[in-house]
Structure formats: structure tokens, C-alpha cells
Structure 1
């Protein structure tokens, strides 16, 4: 069956194929967002004459004048240096489709669709889709560190797919050869942020760890695996496993990117706990602030993720023991969290803390009453009518103290009206 895109008159006389993710997703019965195309046997001049707009400097890629979709001339690549940029590309009328597909990362991404709807599949990508296997196209997989990031991301997006053992072996070789050390921070964050938004983001980090890359890219996170916790609070024991559970809970609840990032970094301080203080991890909240900053600085993490990551790292235990906080202490906490001026970020803070609580073995989907309590306390103290206070002649510091006293009084009233919830409510959780 002839595909819709093939009817475009601008493509008449050209040997054009749809390639990559659009073909893969269509074969899987998933929605196709964007399509990329390869043009075989053409020159840049031939595309420019039809109105295609050239973009990029390293190799000839053109944008369709109407749809904006990418059309690239078939090309080959040769390793010429270290890292993602260490390649020399060649494009020209003599480069065939199979040569172009051979340079792609995974077989499931190396399937082409012709204008008549037939498939060109020289590397068995269709069979790997049926087997639910992610497999490299060629040994050149080990030459490009971005391919490892993409492998981990695809393993996250397609959680039901296994990774071929020989592909994992090439991924480990890539790390052992030092190629992983030449990744630029922006590309690491780009792939990581996309993986965080999939339905099972923990797999991204597990794949990187299995390949030996997590210790090089995120040593602060890698350090958490094997670190014990108090079994009473954490039946899953292992800190790294706990963080992976928290992350997947945040994803299952369809949380925003900053919430998922905060879930990822909230316990980084536990990687620095002295042996004498294991498994209690006293003070891990503040100890984690520098590692969170280091990750954000190194990967150039956006401010919204950075801010929430630091807040959750420092104050997640305060949220868990909210029922135990004095009214004045709770008001100070709400102020530190900027709950009244930035209610959306405060809600994200609560969502991350909820994921932390539910990311414990046997706790998925369980109620988190402290989160609802903080939400109600923030609402109760958000708006203070200052007119009666100013009518009394209060201003400046005196007015500020009166507003504070009113907020404390409201917290106390709401606290005293709260029904007893039992031993599960108070915190001291780690």
C-alpha cells in the first residue's frame, strides 16, 4: 500500500525513503510523530532547485519547504577522532541506501520504507521488532558514545524489549575504550531528560550501570547502589534500588520533568554517609546538596529541575515528619519552600515527596497523609487579611510579626482539628 507521504509531487523523480523511528513506530502500531527521509542518488543542487532548504554544516540535510520534515542525502561515515564529533561523513549520488542504513545504531532503526510502501530491511530490524530485541547494526556501534545513551533511552521507551548480549558487550567496550568520556554535557542531559519522561525511566540508568557508564556519567547516583538503609523504613534496603523505585512511581503518576529529576537526586547524600553512621544516614539531606549541585552544573540542568532537586533533597524528611513539626516550624518550612508565592513548584515538591514515600517496597499506591496535610496547611496560611492589622496601626516589622502569628495560629487550629491517623502518620522516615 502506497503511503500518504509518497504522493508529494515535490518528490517525483527522486529516490526517496522514509527511515528511522517513523517506520519503526508504524510497524509497532504506535503513533508516528515526525518522519525523516533519505534521498538516494541526488545532489544538494537538485534538492535546492525544488525549494528544499539546507540546514546543518557537517552533512547535507534539507527541510521540506512546506512540511519542514528532514530530507538527508544518503551518506556514509568513518571514524576519524574521539567521541560523537569524531566522524568524517561522505554524501553523494554514489552512496546507496544500504550504506546509509549501515551507519545507524540499532536494527529496529535501520528499516526504510519506499514510496510504494515496500520495506528495505537489510539488517533484520523487522525480525528484531517481532522478537522485541534491541540489537546493534554493526560493530561501529562501539565508536559513538551517543549510541549507548540512545540504547539506554530506547530500552526505557520500549520497556518490553530486551537488549542483545552482543550489543551490551559493545556498549561495555565503548566505555572501556574511553569513548564515553567524550560526550558533551548537553547531549547527556538531552537523552537523559527524554528518558526521564518515559513510563519506566529507571531502565535508562540500569542499562548505563550494566554497561559501566553510570559511574562515569553520574558517579553520584552510581554510588548509591549497594548502600544499605534501615530495613524498618526501607524494606528494599538498597539505596540505589529505592531511588529507582521512586523514579518509576513519579513516572507512573505522570509527573513533570522537574518532579522526576528531583526523585532521581533526592537521596544523593546517602552516597557520602560515613560507615559509622550506616544504615541510619543521619544528615543525608544537607549532605546531598553539593552532589545535586555538581550534577546540575556538570550536565547544565535547567533551573526548574535544579531548584526543585535541591528543595526536595534538603526538605523531603521535613515533609515526611510534618505531623511532628511545631506550628512555628511548619510555617518556616512553608516559607523556605516559597509555598505561598510559588504554589505550582510547591505542588511539585509534594509530588516528589509522595513518590519518595511510595517508592518503598510494598508502599506503591499507599496513602501519604503528610503530603495532604502540608497541602492543606499551605492553603490555610496562603492569604492573610492585613486590613484589620493595619487598622490597629501595625506596619513594618510589627505587621510582619502579626502576619506570622496569624499563620502559626491557623496551623495550630488545623493541626488540632486533624483526626488521629495512627502510628503510620508521624515521620522520622529516612
Structure 2
């Protein structure tokens, strides 16, 4: 039994980047030997085990054979006679197909170190074309490694995969998984550039055709290390205002099974962004109504994220220079004032005065308007 460190951990170490996740491949072992050594089996489709102490993943060296469409259309062969080189050959990019022995020696049969030096994203072998998820992964890596170029042969292979219909067989969960990871990279717009260049964007994410302002906004959000919901809201801001944009967003989120946190923030931004950008002339009552529509009184942290997405949009779409984002500052001040209102006390006093139902709500609302007027 021989164990090698593989994949992203080796790549990132060679690039001088922090290594967060370790992946290991085991050559010359059977599942029974792994279990006998104390490893916990977790793989459903192929033998993967958790280390008894570190809980890191150890996978048996394997080969794969295409048996059908999509990323699930494979049969795997894992046995003691599968070599390390055979395992590395099934990987996506050369920079991810480098292994490291326990003594530190590098095993690099496909030129991954060369491509790291020259900053090139290049497929390992022609077997790349068998898994459409690799199209999404390459686009994501382009967003992460912003100064790497995409090999022309790899781009041609991705175009051929799209033309052959492989991208049409991607399942929603994998599309969202890779999209979300790409949005969290340093330059998310580059993911969309690569997907558009190979033709996959139209097939996989037809709603997100790369509105230039939306792309600039999501890159700005990335520079400010905004969370995923904000970045998703920046991208979907390009869907447009009104019922048509809202319907398109709903369809996109339903198809990709987008998490509620991302969907809800995107819905608020799409619906209220114009009102937020034009909020300066609003009277206190209008400000409070805007806060209520955004559910900001109940979810102030989410409203901060709404404003962050709107700020990114304003600085790109409207050419707003760096410096004070007046709308955001004023609306947060208004929100703090509105939330400082002692609603329970006002409700109690209103009940003592014989009021009920909507009348109590109106008195609370007016108190919030007065509080906002005082700070603005």
C-alpha cells in the first residue's frame, strides 16, 4: 500500500498558497485492507475512506470508463493493480494531476508543474470530454487563477463537448454547486467569460448572459469579500426590472434549486434596487415603507447585504466613484432609528387607550416615521 497527496493540495502548495483541504490517493490496496487499517468507508460510487484520526479523504486509485451521458455516466474500476499514473490520467487539468510521495518527491506525468510556471489551464487527456462538469470546473478555476490563460486546445475540447450535447445533461445540483463556488472566487466574471466562450453559458445558464454592469458589480463585490448571496444578487441584477425580471429570477432559482438565502436576497435587490438608488428625495414615511418592503426591520443584517449589492451596482452601472455611498448610509441610519422604537410600549399604550388591530399598527408605524424624521 502506497499513499500519495494529490490534487489541489499539491497545486496550492507549489503556488505558495494556503492549503485548506488535503486529498490522498491509495495505490495497491483493497477496500478490505483499508477497513482493516481503521479507515471508515464513505464512498457510494467508488471506494473513498476517512482517515481514522484526521478524517481526511483517502480514495483508492481508480480508472473510469464512459457508459452514458452526463457526469454520472461512468463505471469505475478500483483495484490494487491500478497505477498512480492511471489515476492521475483521469483528472481534469494538468495542474490538478500532480501527486506527492511521503518523502516529498513529485510525480507529474502530464506536465502540471510546467503549466503552473507558465500559468496555463490545460486538460490532461482526451478523457476530459467525458465529464461535462469539467466545463464548469475549468470556468471556476479561471475565476480563481485570474492570470492563467486557457489553453486553446482545452477551449476547443469544451466547445466540442457543448456541441455534442454533453452540457445539456448537467444536473441542477452540480450546476449550482460550481456556480456558487465560482461566484466566491476572486474574479467571478471570468467564469462567465469562459462559459460564454465555449458556448456553455447559453445552454446551462441562459438567463445569465453576462450583462456587463452585472459582471463589473459581482467583481467589485468579490473585491470587497462580500458573501455569496450578495454576489448572486449582483449577477441576477442584470435580469432587469419589473415582472419579467422577477419571473426570470424565479425560474432560474427554481431550476437550480438555489438556497433560500440567495434567492430571497436576489428578489429584494431586483425589486427594490431602483427605489434604493432613488431614495434621497423620499420623505420619512416613504423611507419607512421602503424599509418595510425590504423586511429590514425584521432582518437588518440581510438589509445590509441588500445595500452592499446595490452599492456595487451603483458604482458600476451609475459610475459612482469611490467614497460615500449616500443612499446606504442614510437608509442604515433610518433603519437604526426605526428599530429603536419601543413597539411593545407603544402597543400597550394604544391598547390602554382602547385601540386594537390596524389602529395599533398605524400608531407603531407613525412612531417609526417620527424616529426616522428625527435622524434624517
Normalising TM by the smaller chain, what interval?
Answer: over 0.9
Q: CA deviation at 1:204?
A: 1.1
Q: Deviations over 1:375-430 (max 9, x none)?
A: 11111112323546436554432222222223223334444xxxxxxxxxxxxxxx
- Report the alpha carbon displacement of residue 51 of structure 1 after superposing the two structures with TM: 0.8
Q: SS in structure 2 opposite 1:379?
A: helix
In the alignment, what sits opposite 2:358? 397
Name the structure 2 match of 1:59: 46
What residue in structure 1 maps to residue 37 of structure 2? 50
Q: SS of 1:160's equivalent?
A: coil
Partner of 2:367: 406
CA, structure 1 residues 252+341, in 2 after alignment: closer, same or farther (shift >3 Å)?
same
Q: Retained in 2: the 8 A contact 1:105–1:136?
A: yes
What is the alpha-carbon distance in structure 1 between the residues aligned to residue 105 and residue 317 of structure 2?
49
Q: State the SS of the aligned residue for 2:225.
A: coil
Gaps of 5+ in 1: 1-13, 226-239, 270-283, 416-430
Aligned equivalent of 2:192, options 197, 205, 230? 205
State the shift of 1:54 in Å.
1.4
C-alpha separation in 2, matches of 1:383 and 1:203: 43
Residue 340 in structure 1 maps to residue 297 in structure 2: yes
1:330 matched to 2:291? The reply is no
Contact 1:358-1:366 at 8 Å conserved across structures: no
1:357 correspondence with 2:320? no
Q: Check the 8 A contact 1:181/1:216 in 2, yes or no.
A: yes
Aligned: 1:114 with 2:101: yes
- C-alpha contact 1:249 1:364 (8 A) present in aligned 2: no
Correspondence list, 1:116-195, <5 A:
116-195=103-182
- The alignment partner of 2:77 has SS state of strand
1:243 aligns with 2:230: no
CA offsets 1:333-367 (integer angstroms, 9 cap, x no match): 11111111111111111111111101237545343
- Given the alignment of the two structures, is residue 255 of structure 1 paired with residue 255 of structure 2, yes or no? no
Picking from 231, 239, 263, the partner of 1:306 is 263
TM-score normalised by length of structure 1: 0.83
The alignment partner of 1:56 has SS state of: coil
Cα separation, 1, equivalents of 2:53 and 2:238: 48
Q: Determine the structure 2 residue equivalent to 1:272.
A: none
Which has the larger displacement, 172-181 or 324-333?
324-333
Note closer, same or farther for the CA distance 1:398–1:58 as it changes in structure 2 (3 Å cut): closer
Instruction: Answer yes or no: is 1:84 the counterpart of 2:71.
Output: yes
Alignment partner, residue 420 of structure 1:
none
Separation (CA, whole Å) in 2 of partners of 1:60 and 1:413: 65
Q: SS in structure 2 opposite 1:340? A: coil
Q: Distance in 2 between matches of 1:103 and 1:413?
A: 66
Give the superposed CA RMSD.
1.6
Q: Is the 8 A contact 2:24 2:58 kept in 1?
A: yes
Q: Which residue of 2 aligns with 1:421?
A: none
Q: Secondary structure at the match of 1:169?
A: helix
Unpaired segments ≥5 residues, structure 2: none
- Residue 37 of structure 1 and its aligned partner are, at CA, apart by 1.1
Aligned residues: 372
Please say if 1:36 is aligned against 2:7.
Answer: no
Contact 1:285/1:315, CA 8 A, preserved across alignment: no
Conserved 8 A contact 2:213-2:238: no
Kindly state the Cα deviation for residue 120 of structure 1 after the two structures are TM-superposed.
0.6
1:216 maps onto 2:187 in alignment: no
CA, structure 1 residues 312+174, in 2 after alignment: closer, same or farther (shift >3 Å)? same
After TM superposition, the structure 1 stretch with the greater mean CA deviation from structure 2, 43-52 or 162-171, is: 43-52
3-state DSSP class of the match of 2:4?
A: strand
> Equivalents in 1 of 2:308, 2:51: separation in Å?
42
| Residue in structure 2 matching 1:291, options 235, 248, 273 | 248
Alignment TM-score, normalising by the size of structure 2: 0.95
Specify the alignment match of 1:377 in structure 2.
334
Q: Distance in 1 between matches of 2:358 and 2:48?
A: 63
